[in-house]
Amino acid sequence: MRCTNHIAGLIKFKLKQPKHTGNNTMKNVRLSKVAGALALAIGVSASAFASDTSSAMRGKITTPNGDAAANVKVTVIHEPTGTINTFTTNDSGAFIAKGLRVGGPYRVVIDSDTYSDAELNGIELKLGDTHRLTRQLEPLQTIEKIQVSGYTLVQQAGGSSSVFGEDTINNVPSFNNDIKDVARLNPLASINGNGELTIAGNNPRTNALTVDGIGQNDDFGLNFGGYPTAQPPVALDAIEQISVDSSPFSAKKGNFGGGTINAVTKSGSNEFTFSGFYETSTPSLAGKVDNISEAKYKDHVKDENGEIIHYAGSNKLDEDGHKTFEVSSTDPIETEARMGFSTGGAIIKDELFFFVNYNSWKQEREMDYGFDGSGTSHEFDISEQDYNRFNSILNETYGLQDELGGDPENTSDSLLVKLSWNISDLHRADFTYQWQDEESDKGYATGGNTITMASSRYQYVTKFNNFATKLYSDWSDDFSTEIGLAYKDVSNNSLTNSDLGQIQVYLNNSDRGESIQFGRDDIRHINVSETETYAFTFDATYLMGDHEINFGAQLESKRLYNLFGQNSMGTWKFGSLDDFENKKLYQNRWDDYQFSYMNANSNNVNDLAYDATREQLALYIEDKFYLTDDLEITAGVRYERLSSNDKPNLNENFLKTYGHTNQENLDGADIILPRIGFKFYATDALTINGGIGRFQGGIPNVWFNNPFQKDGITQVVANQDDINAYFANVEQVDITRVPEGIQSTLTEGAGNTAYTDPDFKLPSSIRAQIGFEYEFDSELLGDGFKWSAEIAYQNKQDEAVWHNTAIEAVMENGEVVRSDTGRVIYQSIYANDPVRKDNHDIMMTNSDLDARSIIFSTAIAKQFDNGLYVSASYTHQDVEDIAPGSASQAEGNYKHATTHSRNVDLVGRGHYEVEHSLKLNLRYETEFFEGYASKFNMFFERRSGRPFSYTMGSYNDGDFGDTRGLDRTSAYLAYIPTGPDDANVNWEKSKLSWDELEALLNRAGISERGQLLDRNTGTQPWVTTMDVSFTQEVPGFYKEHKGEVYFMIENFANLLNSDWGVEKRLGYSDQKLYDFGGLEDGQLVIDPRYQGSDVRNYSQITKGASAWQAKIGIRYSF
């Protein structure tokens, strides 16, 4: 009996062993035994290109005395569809079947005119894997039928390569029916509470995710969740198999920097099937969410003399000057409902099949608004009296009406249609169409010190239209091809509720603190994007003796359109309700009017759009062969090349400054990627595998397209002097339009630029790994344990980094000037240019430094006879990087990169490292009611938090020569003095004493002294995840029909104890130890943190992952 509990690991076979005669008996007995036991082994052999949609089978047929059996007919039959492929072995006794449907079962019939025929039944194939089949024929007798049986496991080879089948997919606890919930079973994969999936400690934006050859990634690279939508584009119940791989050593695979997740959808068969479901989750099925907030004084606090010592709204500090905090709980507010169906069958028996999957999801949030003192879930720090007065002014003075708005609603509908056509015995084709329409209400108020009115809300709309087709052809017994064509179109738009720009009304005569906002949020003044992708693939296999030669080409054309006109409708700030009533703009302490405007120099926002197309060509060739009967080798090389005819606008000022243009578009950038992998069948129970190769890809397209948006001439920011001059003569402002007097000041700019280094090289990494898979028995616990382990090494080369070339190091006597703590002092190259003196030019370039990663993982799994399946894994990561690449814009990647000195690259602990990860996957299946399965599933993970850095706070501090506007990001890693006598610190000028600083250092657990701290020396809190589900089959209305009732709890640990399962993290990946007080003759001046210190390793609780939530559902299938 074949058991398919988890189609992702070693599968044990029980094959009838023939008797052997002749001189080669021992050799071929061993080969047949190993081939039988490992015929479906997955291992770390190269699994699939990112768009693989099929499986393969490679066989070696020998005579009874071990010689190659040529001209033997081999028939491969896919039983669900009746698809038949027939091959004849070559002179080496070999055959290969490519382009086979994943899954099965398959039946293989071996027909020899000289020897006894054989038939193998119950073979299951895995996505992107080549099934290894070796058979030694018997002398003429009756046909020998062999039933392939056994069980499969979830992890193998330490987890760098995993394949998960339908049974695992159907039973894994997944609240959102998300592919990533299956991918996380891989020991090297990790998902945080915000949905970011990292593989092997790499940037989540650099993963490659495909379904049926259609890329599912966010092509702009804006979303860390990986998808262009909030909900998964394809539901789990449409998926047949999923593969996860971090280092596939096949030259066929590319275009990723983290890892690959490749899925293939189900296909129809000769049997008509239907499955429909409905599930829901309500606030009564969820736990309260904790919120952490800074403790503040509600009212002024005075001393005995009546002097104010603590102002209302200021932070409450403890004896160390450390902030204090309050924890409150919020009732759950989300109601979700999801429904869908899948159906499939034959349009023409044995020839044409269909499969359809539809999913619909809806979420509503019940907002509980209230004003100061109300105690509601979404309480504002603003009185109802002030709110009512604001509305009165808005109506009576401006003739406008607004409100808080109703409950937000999010919807997502998706459809997948797949046709499979057996054109003939030699050709078959698949066609997949995918559609998704998602609408999300955003920009609504959630309480706190800002009331966001309904006019600031917007609806974020994403539309997804894709198709893919693939033709699988066997042109001869030795030559086969797969030809694929895919198209993907994704559009995003923000549907707003107002034609006004952003207006902010503050309540305390300043531009900070409590405020009321209405009009369009400045980021949504116009924000439209679209990507179109065409992909063509040609993959061929030629069997030449014992050598399997694979070669092919992949061509992708990607068009990216983006119109982002931030603040193109203007932003107005009023300091008080009185000023708002009098239409008087707020002026800050420098007497600057608080109005801002940014647009194209033509004042036509459409001129800000860019529309660029980039092509990528990949060519590859590889040879897979057996160096010995037990050693499989895969060796190949891949070539990738980028091309584009589109360039950013030429900036003449830039050209004069640097002697080269700002138009580098990576046209012609290319790279050669050699790879070699092996798999050694050491014994019947032990397999050793590994490889080494170079990989490239996965860089977010938005990084390449930054120069199109920031050419320094098209987009212009209204000058503050021009703004002041205009409003100085205006008694009452008009918030309905940007004044013509300010629009007229915009001229073709000499502004900030983002550009790509003309000598930019495609970043790559050298990856190497070695691992083993071992099967063993235990007298105490039973037979059939599968143990695997692996160590992986990665060396990142030419990593992308960002430098500000508008600053240069100050030189004296031929030496770089540094502060006493060793930091480089810079000056602007535009210091003498009154127009560009505050400009920055951010260049994406390559680092000269290398960063390495060492990852160890091990896994063990066991299927017990009583229906219990258990697998466990542990992974340890030691990851380095140079630039985290956590932002979408060049400026953000530059200014938020923690460092010792600007423009000086620094290797440090990896931003996405998960140092320790322990996972447990458990499944138990029984029958509480005879004939109806009862299934319990659990996924548990305990993992380290992500790293963070200790920095010093900066705000408009230019002593190191930072460009204005980039000197307030607290990116400088903190210097830790040796003590009160440290000569690098000017303690006389410092407002923070050594004793006060030491108390904070001890509180943070920082033991270093007399040095600049390295990057990411801190670690955020550990995270525990535990999801459980229970499914009970129930009778259907007809024979062969069944129903299911299921119940799933996400974050079950939090249900058991409200202190468990809480993900605490930092909002940004740094904590400020103290404020930078400037330099005094090169010495560091240390000041206390503005509004108090905070040296904890967390500052917030991730709401979506820190409270239990349950769903109940029903399913009906036949």
Report the distance separating Cα 67 and Cα 25, nearest Å.
Answer: 11
Tell me, what CATH number does 124's domain have? 2.60.40.1120
What is the three-state SS of 953-965? ECCCCCCCCCCCC
Mean pLDDT on 52-67 = 87
Sign (positive or negative) of CA dihedral 65, 66, 68, 71: positive
Among the listed residues 189, 213, 184, 216, the one whose alpha carbon sits nearest the alpha carbon of residue 200: 189
Among the listed residues 89, 139, 131, the one whose alpha carbon sits nearest the alpha carbon of residue 114: 139
Report the distance separating Cα 186 and Cα 244, nearest Å.
Answer: 7
Report the distance separating Cα 148 and Cα 15, nearest Å.
Answer: 7
Question: Strand 239-245 and strand 547-564: pairing?
Answer: unpaired
Tens digit of each residue's pLDDT (9 = 90 or more) over 87-128: 999 988 889 999 899 988 999 999 888 888 888 888 999 888
Whether the predicted pLDDT of 16 surpasses 80: no
Give the pLDDT confidence score for residue 143 in this predicted structure.
57
Q: Reply yes or no: is the peptide bond before residue 105 cis, omega within 30 of 0.
A: yes
Give the pLDDT confidence score for residue 156 in this predicted structure.
40
Q: Is residue 959 part of a domain?
A: yes
- Collapsing DSSP to helix, strand or coil, 173 comes out as coil
Q: For residue 233, what is the DSSP state? A: S
Tens digit of each residue's pLDDT (9 = 90 or more) over 169-202: 988 999 999 999 999 999 999 998 888 899 999 9
Q: What's the token pair of residue 353? A: 């099949």
8 A C-beta contact, residue 195 and residue 929: no
Report the distance separating Cα 1086 and Cα 997, nearest Å.
Answer: 9
Element (H, E) at 722: helix 720-727
DSSP per-residue letters across 687-714:
EEEEEEEEEE----HHHHHHHHH--SSS
Q: Is residue 103 part of a domain?
A: yes
Mean pLDDT on 385-399 = 96
Overall number of domains in the chain: 2
Tens digit of each residue's pLDDT (9 = 90 or more) over 437-458: 999 999 999 998 999 999 999 9
Tens digit of each residue's pLDDT (9 = 90 or more) over 162-177: 889 888 898 899 999 9
Q: Is residue 412 part of a domain?
A: no
Which phi and psi angles does 537 have, rounded to 5°?
-130, 140
Cα dist. 279→340, 1046, 1048 in Å? Answer: 9, 9, 10
Report the distance separating Cα 818 and Cα 822, nearest Å.
Answer: 5
Report the distance separating Cα 416 and Cα 265, nearest Å.
Answer: 9
Q: Is residue 180 part of a domain?
A: no
Q: How many CA atoms lie within 13 A of 1114 on its CB side?
A: 6
Question: Strand 571-574 and strand 502-506: pairing?
Answer: parallel
Q: How far apart are the first and last CA of the chain?
A: 22
Which phi and psi angles does 575 have, rounded to 5°?
-85, -15
Which among 147, 178, 207 is the end of a domain?
147
Report the distance separating Cα 163 and Cα 270, nearest Å.
Answer: 26
Tens digit of each residue's pLDDT (9 = 90 or more) over 137-146: 888 765 555 5
Which among 147, 177, 196 is the end of a domain?
147
Give the pLDDT confidence score for residue 224 in this predicted structure.
67
Q: Is residue 45 part of a domain?
A: yes
Which among 147, 173, 207 is the end of a domain?
147
Q: What's the token pair of residue 429? A: 């084709």
Give the pLDDT confidence score for residue 654 in this predicted structure.
95
Give the pLDDT confidence score for residue 515 in this predicted structure.
96
Q: Is residue 128 part of a domain?
A: yes
Residue whose entry in the numeric block shows the structure tokens 């959808």: 265
Q: What share of the chain is helix, strand, coil (3-state, %, to 5)?
A: 10, 45, 45
Q: pLDDT confidence of 747, banded at 50, 70, 90?
A: confident
Burial of 404 (0-12, 13-18, 19+ CB in 10 A): middle
Mean pLDDT on 11-20 = 32
Residues 6+ apart with CB under 8 A from 631: 678, 679, 680, 681
Tens digit of each residue's pLDDT (9 = 90 or more) over 1062-1117: 999 998 899 999 999 999 999 999 999 998 999 999 999 988 889 999 999 999 99
Q: Which amino acid is at 1087?
A: D
Give the pLDDT confidence score for residue 144 in this predicted structure.
58
Tens digit of each residue's pLDDT (9 = 90 or more) over 926-975: 999 999 999 999 999 999 999 999 999 998 888 999 998 898 889 999 99
Q: What's the token pair of residue 737? A: 């339009």
Q: pLDDT confidence of 67, banded at 50, 70, 90?
A: confident
Tens digit of each residue's pLDDT (9 = 90 or more) over 473-483: 999 999 999 99
8 A C-beta contact, residue 1093 and residue 321: yes
Sign (positive or negative) of CA dihedral 971, 972, 978, 982: negative
Question: Strand 378-379 and strand 369-370: pairing?
Answer: parallel
The angle formed by the CA atoms of residues 62, 66 and 69, to the nearest 5 degrees, is: 30
Report the distance separating Cα 954 and Cα 371, nearest Å.
Answer: 34
Among the listed residues 128, 793, 228, the one whose alpha carbon sits nearest the alpha carbon of residue 492: 228
Q: Is residue 56 part of a domain?
A: yes
Sign (positive or negative) of CA dihedral 533, 230, 1065, 169: negative
Cα dist. 91→57, 95, 115, 459, 654 in Å? Answer: 18, 10, 16, 65, 66
- Domain range for 58: 25-147
* Mean of all residue pLDDT scores within the chain: 89
Share of the chain above pLDDT 90, in %: 72
Mean pLDDT on 681-704 = 90
